[in-house]
Amino acid sequence: MTLSALQLDLLTSRYNYYAVVLLLGIGLYMLVESPNLVKKVIGMNIFQTGIFLFFITLAYRAGGNPPVVTKGGGPYVSPLPHVLILTAIVVGVSLTAVALALIVRIYSEYGTLDEDTLEQLYYD
């Protein structure tokens, strides 16, 4: 059985969305499965990056120029998602900073970054 032209087209033209799904999946998997707290935070970042890419892909328009008004004129890609994601990136950076600060405190107190070891210390 061979792929029809339409299916092939779907596969090749939607690669951004595959990247989004991949990033969301990898991020969430790291977040849940990695016992290392720092890697959990990295997973959280990858998960958020997937969402950022999703928004940027939404804004894309075939043949569109960057949304900077110059002499060239339109059509432009939608500037709105870019602005939203700029905000979301700032939020993501602050969250990472707070998370890392908490991890520093946890490490200085318990001397470990391993979740399972921490769990044992925590409930004793």
User: What are the residues binding another protein (CB under 8 A)?
Assistant: 24, 28, 31, 37, 40-41, 44, 47-48, 51, 54-55, 58, 80-81, 84, 87-88, 91, 94-95, 98-99, 102-103, 105-106, 109-110, 118, 122
Cβ contacts of residue 60 below 8 Å, gap of 6+?
16, 77
- Nearer to another protein among residue 77 and residue 118 (C-beta): 118
Q: By CB neighbour count within 10 A (0-12 exposed, 13-18 middle, 19+ buried), where does 85 fall?
A: buried
Q: What are the distances in angstroms from CA 30 to CA 60, 65, 106? A: 29, 36, 20
For another protein, the closer CB: 5 or 45: 45
Q: How far is the CB of 106 from another protein (least distance, A)?
A: 5
Distance between CA atoms of 47 and 30, rounded to whole angstroms?
9
Task: In angstroms, give the least distance from the CB of 42 to another protein.
Answer: 12
> Tokens 């990056």 correspond to what residue?
49
Residue closer to another protein, measured from CB, 72 or 121: 121
